[in-house]
Amino acid sequence: MTIDTQQALFGFALRLGDTSLVLGHRLSEWCGHAPELEEDIALTNIALDLVGHARLWLSLAGEAEGQGRDEDRLAYRRDVFDYRNHLLVEQPNRDFGHTIVRQFLHDAWAVELYERLATSPDAGVAGIAAKALKEVRYHVQHSAEWVIRLGDGTAVSHAKTQEALDRLWPYTGEMFEADAASSALAAAGIAPALADLRATWAARVADTVAEATLTRPADGWMHKGGLRGEHSEHLGYLLAEMQFLPRAYPDAVW
Amino acid sequence: MAQAEQAGRADAGCWGPEPGADPLVLTAWTALAGVMDPEIPVLSVVDLGIVRSVERLDDGAGDGRCDGRLAVTVTPTYSGCPATGVIVLEVETALARAGLDATVRVVIAPPWTTDWISDTGRAKLAEVGIVPPPAAGKRALTAPLEAIACPLCGSTDTAQISRFGSTACKALHRCNACLEPFDVFKCH
């Protein structure tokens, strides 16, 4: 299937926007519940940055689509089957270890991707990536430090973090999965081929996992489907909460 | 020129009117210097370096349309900064109060950096006990923290409590000498 650049830009921006939005929403669920005040503030700060990235990507998606849909319309008036986020980020928070491992696996990918997108010849893409890159670099420092602290912590924190890593690892393959949109942009030189991010991502993850005294799971079968709108059951509940107000009171303004 | 200095042009790295700028543009910069950041109200939007440019829309057109209209460009500090909407509203209000016909645009590229905080802004931060951001550059983002002096007692025996503080732009530190916690403006 071949698609034109505008369609590809729409699909790719939707993927990045949805992934940022869903992860941002997941982190916001910790507000008032994190294990300590500083971490409560940290997770919600990161959530805020991610929702900011989602707004930028979804606005760009709306412009590329050219159907008059803005960021709010895309965020609040699409159902599960139209969401294009990675399955990793919709996984529930479970315990703090799961939240941190999920964050680290995503952050390490986001840094690799945004570093490359920041030099994209497409000014819209490059602008968002350069802005987001400064923030995700800070996020990955934070999440990596916590992976190390938890992994190389007590027997309990080590076991829980290893369990999280084992459970979430099969969701990492999707971050490097090409679809029609990402392939078209890679062919046009606007975005990197996602598979090319894998080696540096894996090296970064391996360093942190080793320092955390954790065992890197083997690459085996990987979950897929998010890019086609085939999501886990968890996303529907998340969207039901996130979209309630604009669906119950359409066109309400703040 | 007094107005230009007031708007902070003298500070290296930050944004302000060019020397000898148009009187309307200077009026706008002066008005903007009175708009305070809602989360750090000692800093004006000019001190913070988020006003990127003020331009006359009628430059060179010569057809009488857009006479005296200005385009003001601002940039957010962080992508998700909740204050951005309020800042735009306050900038529009201040420009209207100054009798100016201005359109405010928000742009994200090039991304804001703490290097654009003016020297005046840095001094104001220090005055209220917020440690100004270290000089940026790529290295500072990832390098270990240099010894940060406590804004209360001056001791450099300090430690970071949390990378994330009360606003997106600040981290929380503690002084091991006087035991007081304090905010540090993050290098960005």
CATH number of the domain bearing residue B78 = 3.30.300.130
- How many other C-beta atoms can be found within 10 angstroms of the C-beta atom of residue A153? 16
Least confident of A7-11, A30-34, B82-86, B150-154: B82-86
pLDDT for position B13: 53
B160 vs A: CB within 8 A? no
What does the block give as tokens for B28?
């706008």
In this complex, the residue of B108, B110, B168 whose CB is nearest that of residue A128 is: B108
pLDDT for position B7: 42
The answer to whether residue B124 is domain-embedded is no
The shortest C-alpha distance from A118 to chain B (Å) reads: 10
- The DSSP result for A4-58, as a single string, is -HHHHHHHHHHHHHHHHHHHHHHHHTTTTTSSSHHHHHHHHHHHHHHHHHHHHHH
A48 contacts B168? CB cut-off 8 A: yes
Residues B112 and B140 in one domain: no
Closest chain A CA to residue B77: A131
Residues B76 and B147 in one domain: no
Residues in chain A: 254
Closest chain B CA to residue A131: B111
Provide CB contacts within 8 A for B85, sequence distance 6+.
Answer: none
pLDDT, tens only, A85-134: 999 999 999 999 999 999 999 999 999 999 999 999 999 999 999 999 99
The answer to whether residue B123 is domain-embedded is no
Question: What's the total number of domains in chain B?
Answer: 2
- How many other C-beta atoms can be found within 10 angstroms of the C-beta atom of residue B111? 22
pLDDT, tens only, A51-93: 999 999 999 999 999 999 999 999 999 999 999 999 999 999 9
Residues B66 and B146 in one domain: no
With 90 as the cut, is the pLDDT of residue A237 above it? yes
The answer to whether residue B58 is domain-embedded is yes
Question: What's the total number of domains in chain A?
Answer: 1
The answer to whether residue B122 is domain-embedded is no
Chain A from 41 to 100: CB within 8 A of any B CB:
41-42, 45-53, 55-56
Find the domain containing A115 and state its range.
5-248
Cα–Cα distance, B68 to B102 (Å, whole number)? 9
With 80 as the cut, is the pLDDT of residue B10 above it? no
The answer to whether residue B15 is domain-embedded is yes
Provide CB contacts within 8 A for B87, sequence distance 6+.
Answer: B35, B37, B38, B45, B50, B74
CATH number of the domain bearing residue A83 = 1.20.1260.10
A41 contacts B165? CB cut-off 8 A: yes
The answer to whether residue B33 is domain-embedded is yes
Cα–Cα distance, B25 to B69 (Å, whole number)? 10
- Write out chain B residues lying below 8 Å of A204, CB-based: none
pTM of the prediction? Answer: 0.92
Q: Cis peptide before A250, with omega less than 30 degrees from 0? A: no
Residue with tokens 């990197």: A192
Residues B101 and B135 in one domain: no
Residues B71 and B17 in one domain: yes
Residues B141 and B99 in one domain: no
The answer to whether residue A254 is domain-embedded is no
Average pLDDT over residues B162-185: 92
Closest among A37, A136, A35, A42 to B164, alpha carbons compared: A42
B188 contacts A53? CB cut-off 8 A: no
Residues B110 and B27 in one domain: yes
pLDDT for position B166: 83
A127 vs B: CB within 8 A? yes
Domain final residue, candidates B116, B139, B154: B116
Task: Please say whether the beta carbons of A165 and A213 come within 8 A.
Answer: no
pLDDT for position B12: 46
Average pLDDT over residues B179-186: 93
The answer to whether residue B96 is domain-embedded is yes
Domain final residue, candidates B116, B140, B161: B116
Residues B101 and B36 in one domain: yes
ipTM of the modeled complex: 0.87
Chain A from 168 to 227: CB within 8 A of any B CB:
none
Cα–Cα distance, A9 to A157 (Å, whole number)? 41
Residues B22 and B48 in one domain: yes
The shortest C-alpha distance from A139 to chain B (Å) reads: 10
A38 contacts B161? CB cut-off 8 A: yes
Find the domain containing B136 and state its range.
129-185
Residues B11 and B91 in one domain: yes
Residues B31 and B83 in one domain: yes
